[in-house]
Every structure is written in structure tokens, then in C-alpha cells.
Amino acid sequence: MSKIQKLNNRTLALGIKHLKKVDSDFKEILRDRNDQINSFKKTGGFEGLISLIVEQQLSVASAKAIFNRVKLICRDFEASSFLKIKEEELKATGLSRQKVAYCRNVAEAVINKTLDFKKLEKMSDQEVVEMLVKIKGIGEWTAQCYLMACMKRLDAWPSSDLGLIVAIQKIKKINERPKSLTIEKMAEPWKPYRSIAALLLWSTYDKD
């Protein structure tokens, strides 16, 4: 298996250099931002994965508020503690019934050891995604964001993310929102630094 690449100061510099070389639009984004790039970091493990489930199809502000309320009733944020919390208490934080179920699915997977976060660290990006999406409630977006935010993987690519889609549409001056296959093809030259590409594209979406 090839060496696992993580996002750090060295790979960030290499990634920016690569993206500028293969796509002039990144030159403009970086120039507009004075070569500054926003980070996307989360605590790893159970807490990080639950945080991403909370964020599914919600604004950042709404998700943060709900997650903070969840943390108040699950202070150690261990899977075993989470499973002891009653559904009504979790729903009172703002979690939907469906997301409560999804979060419990993750907790149960941790307890029965079908999900081992330490083992994930040794897996390739694709293997991590395949492992995570086996759990009901975790799709490609959540798995890719876990790779990026919690595992600091260098080439994560949550291509279904609305912010990315809108940013690509704007930067590439496309009349309609690009389809999944178009986005995947467009991002091919950005490998193996698509996590950095995503951060840069998100920065243009956030600016609006």
C-alpha cells in the first residue's frame, strides 16, 4: 500500500504549488485571499463522526448549536455514554429522530467493534470510506469529510457538497450546477491534493 499522505505545512505548500500549476483559477483564489487558506479540523473518533452526522444538510451555525447541546448531555463523548441517553433527550437538543438513529448506529458499531477508529488510521482513503458507509446514516459526503477534517487526509473529495458545487459553478463560470461526473472529471488534475482544492473552493463560497 502506498504511503498515507496527510495535510500538514509541507504538503499544504506542495498542494498549493500543484494547484496553481494545473489550474489558473486557484491562482486567482489564492491571490484574492493573500495566499491564506481556511482549515477544516475536527476531533477524530466517535465525537468527530457524530459532529459530521449532525452537520448533514444543515447550516454550519445550526449544526454547531445542536452539537454543543449534545455535548452538554454527553460530556465524555464516549459511545457507551451516548447509548445511555434517552431518545427524547437527544431530540431536545435539536437532533431529528433520524439523526438520533444514525448516531446510535455509530455508537453501536464502536461498542461491537465493527468500527475501530485506530484501525482506520492504517487504511487507505478508499478503505476508510468503504468501512464508514457500511453504517446506516453515513454516506459518501460524511465519510469524505471525516477523511479530511478528522484524519487530515490530503486527497479527500466530498464532491456532493453543495458549497463545492456552487463554488465550482461560479469559478468555472458554468450556467448550470455541474453534475457529479463533470465535477469528478474536473477535479482529476487536482489529485492528490483535492482536500486543499476543496478548502480553497469553500473559501469562495463562504465569501458570498
pTM of the model: 0.94
Q: Which domains does the chain have, with CATH numbers?
A: 9-39+156-207 (1.10.1670.40), 45-150 (1.10.340.30)
Instruction: Tell me the three cell numbers of residue 127.
Output: 478503505
d(CA 105, CA 101): 6
User: Could you report the per-residue pLDDT of 51-93, keeping only the tens digit for each?
Assistant: 999 999 999 999 999 999 999 999 999 999 999 999 999 999 9
197-136-71-146 Cα dihedral, nearest 10 degrees = -20
| C-alpha closest to that of 31 among 202, 176, 206, 200 | 200
Across the chain, mean pLDDT equals 94
Helix (H) or strand (E) holding 3: none
Among 27-36, 44-53, 186-195, the minimum mean pLDDT is found in: 27-36
Instruction: Tell me the three cell numbers of residue 102.
Output: 444514525
| C-alpha closest to that of 141 among 52, 45, 27 | 52
173-179-182-186 Cα dihedral, nearest 10 degrees = 60
Q: What are phi and psi of 153, to 5 degrees?
A: -75, 145
Instruction: Tell me the three cell numbers of residue 125.
Output: 482513503
Check pLDDT > 80 for residue 207: no
